[in-house]
Amino acid sequence: MKQSGRVNLLLLGAIVCIAVLGFVFLSGRESVTTVGSRFMSALAKGDVDTLTKMSYIDGESPDHIRKEWDFAVNEVAKHYRFTWRITSARETGKESAAVSMQVARNADSGGAYEEKFELPLQKVDGDWKVDVTNISRDMYPGLPRGSKSSQ
C-alpha cells in the first residue's frame, strides 16, 4: 500500500548533495593559496606561458608581459634556484589579497636560508592574478616591472 507525502530519504540526500556540489563549483574560483602555489611552481619551472597568464601589470599587454618573463627566466635567472613554501594567505579586500611564504634563495648553495616574502594578488575579471610589480625584487632576479616603471 502506498502512502502519500512520504519522501525517499536517499533521493532527497542525493538532490541535496548535487545542489551543494553545484554551488561550490559555480561560485568557487581558485583560492588565493592555490593561485600563489601555481604561480610559484611556474616560476620555479620557468614556465613563461603560465607566468604570463597569472601576472598582472597595470597597463601592459600580455605580449609585453610575456617578453619580460621570457627575459627574466631565460636570461637573468637562468641558473637561479630557490625553494618555497606557503605559510598563510589572506584576502585584504574584495579585489586584493596576499600570500605569505618562506623562500630560500640560491637553494643550491650550502648557506641558503628561508626568508619571508609576499605575493600580492589582484582580482582581474573575476580571477586572481599576481601583481608582479609589487613583489620584492629581492625574491627573484629580473622580475618584470612594466614599461612605465622603467621610464
Domain count, the chain: 1
Tell me if 3 is assigned to some domain: no
Tell me if 54 is assigned to some domain: yes
Percent of the chain whose pLDDT exceeds 70 = 81
Which of 118, 119, 122 is closest to 96 using CA atoms? 122
Strands (DSSP E) contained in 55-137 are 55-56, 82-91, 96-105, 114-124, 127-131
Helix and strand numbers (H, E) in the chain are 5, 5
Which of 126, 125, 141 is closest to 76 using CA atoms? 141
Alpha-carbon distance of 79 to 2, in angstroms, equals 75
Residue 25, H or E segment: helix 9-27
Alpha-carbon distance of 88 to 76, in angstroms, equals 29
Q: pTM for the complete prediction? A: 0.77
Tell me if 75 is assigned to some domain: yes
Alpha-carbon distance of 129 to 3, in angstroms, equals 56
Task: Tell me the per-residue pLDDT of 101-116, one tens digit each, with 9 for 90 and over.
Answer: 999 998 888 888 999 9
What's the confidence (pLDDT) of residue 18? 73
Alpha-carbon distance of 79 to 100, in angstroms, equals 24
CATH code where residue 134 lies:
3.10.450.50
State the residue range of the domain holding 42.
31-140
Task: Tell me the per-residue pLDDT of 59-94, one tens digit each, with 9 for 90 and over.
Answer: 999 999 999 999 999 999 999 999 999 999 999 999
Q: For the CA atoms of the chain, what is the radius of gyration?
A: 21
| Residue 149 or residue 6, greater confidence | 6
The identity of residue 39, as a single letter, is: F
